Amino acid sequence: MWAGRFSKASEKIADDFNSSISFDQKMYRQDIQGSLAHAAMLLSVGILTKADYTAIVDGLSGILSDLDSGALSFDENAEDIHMFIEAELTKRVGDAGKRLHTARSRNDQVALDLRLYMREEAGEVVALLKKLTLAVLKQAKENVHTIMPGYTHLQRAQPITFAQHLLAYCMMFLRDITRVQDALARMNVSPLGSCALAGTTYPIDRDFVAENLGFDGVCMNSVDGVSDRDYCVELESAFALIMTHLSRFSEEIILWSSWEFKFVELDDAYTTGSSIMPQKKNSDMAELVRGKTGRVYGDLLATLTMLKGLPLAYNKDMQEDKEAVFDSVETVQKCLGIFIPMIETMTPLKENMYAAAKKGFINATDLADYLTKKGVPFRSAYKIVGEIVGACIQKGITLDEMSLEEYRERSPLFEEDLYTEISLETCVGKRISKGSTGYKSVEEQIAFVEGKLL
Ligand code: ARG
């Protein structure tokens, strides 16, 4: 392509090292879409003749359908997808193909292609997140009255409903959706027309191209237009946080599936056995999601590090953006894709959750509140209840198994109604604060999540 300037050809090993076609071929549709918009603009401002334009459109359309059908395969010796398509076009339509690159550089071309590609893929992430949130919400709706122990420090803490626990994940996923949408809104400007870095002397119409490709506007500075990969970092960072949430959820599903908890049963179709231990049923899908989180974090860090020392404008280092951001988005899509049916088919084991909630004195706060409502200062009530718990542990009984006489030995304010006050149903039902595990609050949360998804 640049033979004029050079006295000898590059070494094969250098070409191979330099080449990106093995991974940027993923963007062939966007490259052709961008070229079609560029050609239409060149025609509209009189840079291309109608005949050349028609030849280019025919040529590019043919290449697109041949690549789609597999009739044309990528030339692994091409430097990148842009060079490959331009060379193929020129092979097919001659000089018109050579005119396509007027008022364009690969620098703004690759910036455009990557934006188009990531816009689509990130849109798919949003769609998957919505589907997952709905799947979690459905489980929540079916478990508004399913009582389980809520934990802090992985110690049983206070009774909550399974719905309340699941809705916490819905809130995370809703934020994840808006984070990706925010990045999408910011990145939706066209870099095409920045050219190599300085713009061009041709009377191009950048807004025409932007509108044609569904952008909200154009990058306002040509140097920034070809240097900016902020949107990759923003998306990778949103994806990293999605993985954090999926990984925490995975960890809980793995724990809940163990014999120690047995709070849920995963469908056989989303678990695996062991090659040696016949009794095993492993939560491999959840473990893999947890495991893949690391590489998505790595992709973010790779891109940040790649960018940090780069002088403006384009540097070849930036070719490294693609493998990272592609890996990041593909991993997130795969993980969301497996999570949705895994959640849809997961069976909550309500009796086990309830039995676990019965143990661990998780109604102790409510017992202290009982005394506090009768005028005992909370700290004093806390101490009395602490001693009662200690006595129960010694006897091997739960709070509701202790007799009223024994309660009254510790405070005359205890009366028969304490037993209903500390029942798990009351502990949950009486939580009236906004956002709490109480039934009204949970219904409000369900409506809130539904409202955000519709
Ligand atoms: N394959 C290159 C990349 O992905 C395309 C841009 C090349 N531009 C250049 N001036 N070498 O970054």
pLDDT digits (tens, 9 = 90+) for 148-177: 999 999 999 999 999 999 999 999 999 999
Domain boundaries for CATH 1.10.40.30 within the chain:
356-453
Is residue 82 part of the annotated active site? The answer reads no
Q: What backbone phi and psi angles, to 5 degrees, belong to 363?
A: -95, 10
Distance 316 CA to ligand 1 centre (A): 6
Q: Is 227 in the pocket of ligand 1 (CB under 6 A)?
A: no
78 CA → ligand 1 middle, Å: 12
Closest CA relative to residue 232, chosen from 178, 294, 290, 307: 307
Query: pLDDT tens-digit profile of 335-347?
Result: 999 999 999 999 9
* Single-letter amino acid, residue 61: S
Start-end of CATH 1.20.200.10 domains in the chain:
107-139+161-203+223-354
Which one has a higher pLDDT value, 10 or 450?
450
Task: List, by residue range, all CATH 1.10.275.10 domains of the chain.
Answer: 12-102
Q: Which has more pLDDT, 279 or 301? A: 301
pLDDT confidence of 135, banded at 50, 70, 90? very high
Residue 324 pLDDT exceeds 70: yes
Task: Give the percent of the chain with pLDDT over 90.
Answer: 94
Angle at 35 between CA 31 and CA 36, to 5 degrees: 120
Q: How confident is the model at residue 276, as a pLDDT?
A: 75
Return the pLDDT at 5: 83
Task: Output the residue whose Cα is nearest ligand 1's atom 2.
Answer: 319
Active site residue 153: yes
In short, whether 314's Cβ falls inside 6 Å of ligand 1 is yes
pLDDT of 1 over the 80 cut: no
Distance of CA 85 from the midpoint of ligand 1 (Å):
14
Average pLDDT value for residue range 221-246: 98
Cα gap 126→266, rounded to integer Å: 25
Residue among 180, 111, 161 nearest 439 (CA): 161
pLDDT in tens, 381-436: 999 999 999 999 999 999 999 999 999 999 999 999 999 999 999 999 999 999 99
How large is the average pLDDT for residues 267-291? 89
Rounded Cα–Cα distance for residues 239 and 257 (Å): 26
With cut-offs at 50, 70 and 90, classify the pLDDT of residue 7: confident
Q: What is the token pair recorded at 355?
A: 């039995």
What CATH architecture does domain 107-139+161-203+223-354 belong to? Up-down Bundle (1.20)
Does domain 12-102 fall under CATH 1.10.275.10? My reply is yes
Question: Ligand 1 in contact with 24 (CB < 6 A)?
Answer: yes
The residue with tokens 């198994």 is 401
Q: Which of 7, 69, 153, 275 is catalytic?
A: 153
106 lines ligand 1 (CB under 6 A): yes
Q: Fill in the DSSP letter of residue 374.
A: T
Question: Secondary structure of the chain: what % helix, strand, coil (to 5)?
Answer: 65, 5, 30
- The number of angstroms, rounded, from the C-alpha of 216 to the middle of its chain's C-alpha atoms is 24
Kindly tell me if the per-residue pLDDT of 277 is higher than 90: no
Pair 149, 161: CB distance under 8 Å? no
Average pLDDT over residues 354-378: 94
Q: What average pLDDT does the segment 57-85 reach?
A: 97
Classify domain 356-453 by CATH number.
1.10.40.30
